[in-house]
Amino acid sequence: MEYRLRDATLSDVPALADLHVRTFQETHGGGPNAGVRAAQWSKILANPEPQSFCLVLQTDTSELIGFVRGIRHTESAFSEFDAELNKIYLLRAYHRRGLGKRLLCAAATRFVDYGLSSMLLFGEAANPSNAFYEAMGAERLYSESGEFHGGYGWRDLRALIAAACSPSSSGDAPARANTPV
């Protein structure tokens, strides 16, 4: 099966909202319904922020199976990072195929293309996906009191791309939007 990674559009909103609900439930349980997600995605995609993106991963039958959203990080906490991996989700049935890595690499590449050099994400401390982030070279970020709450960071996106996204690391070229992966 071939997978295609591309920029999300407003026409993707119904499928993206459904995918967001499904992947969120698989990962966390519960969460907002598809109507709420559709309203959120409509707003995001209709009025994109500078240096932000949403990439969707689809099968060769055009079914959306994963997505990644990146935004500029502007919060004062962890201000040494300039980009934020805001969301990264992949249907559980597609785990362990290198597709999460492709989503992460595409996000890192897009941020570098925007001139951003570091990236963080905020998750849950007990999320099983944390092992994936650590395998991809992310460092744990600790609060001022020394507690880990699920934050991870990559201080050098070019190093991440060279180590994890290069042809020698996966047998394929780095994932970019609008190309088969």
Domain that holds residue 136: 3-180
Residue 65's identity, in one-letter code, is: I
Q: How far apart are CA 75 and CA 13, in angstroms?
A: 27
CATH at residue 120: 3.40.630.30
Instruction: Tell me the pLDDT tens digit for each residue of 85-111.
Output: 999 999 999 999 999 999 999 999 999
| Beta bridge pairs of residue 151 | 122, 141
Percent of the chain exceeding pLDDT 90 equals 79
What is the pLDDT, as a whole number, of residue 170? 46
Structural domain count, the chain: 1
Higher pLDDT: 49 or 167? It is 49
* Per-residue pLDDT at 173 exceeds 90: no
Rg of the chain, C-alpha, whole Å: 16
Q: Is the pLDDT of residue 174 over 60?
A: no
Summarised one tens digit per residue, pLDDT across range 23-57 is 999 988 899 999 999 999 999 999 999 999 999 99
pLDDT at 180 over 50: no
Predicted pLDDT at 22 = 97
Q: Strands across the sheet with 139-142, in order?
A: 139-142, 148-154, 119-122, 83-90, 64-72, 53-59, 3-7, 179-180
In the chain the beta strands, taken as DSSP E runs, fall at: 3-7, 53-59, 64-72, 83-90, 119-122, 139-142, 148-154, 179-180
Residue 129 has pLDDT above 90, yes or no: no
pLDDT attached to residue 24 = 94
More reliable by pLDDT, 65 or 164:
65
The mean predicted confidence, pLDDT, of the chain is 91
pLDDT at residue 76, rounded to an integer: 80
Q: How would you class 102 by CB atoms within 10 Å of its CB: exposed for 0-12, middle for 13-18, buried for 19 or more?
A: buried
CB 100 within 8 Å of CB 88 = yes
> Model confidence at 168, in pLDDT bands (50, 70, 90)?
low
The pLDDT, as a whole number, for residue 167 is 65
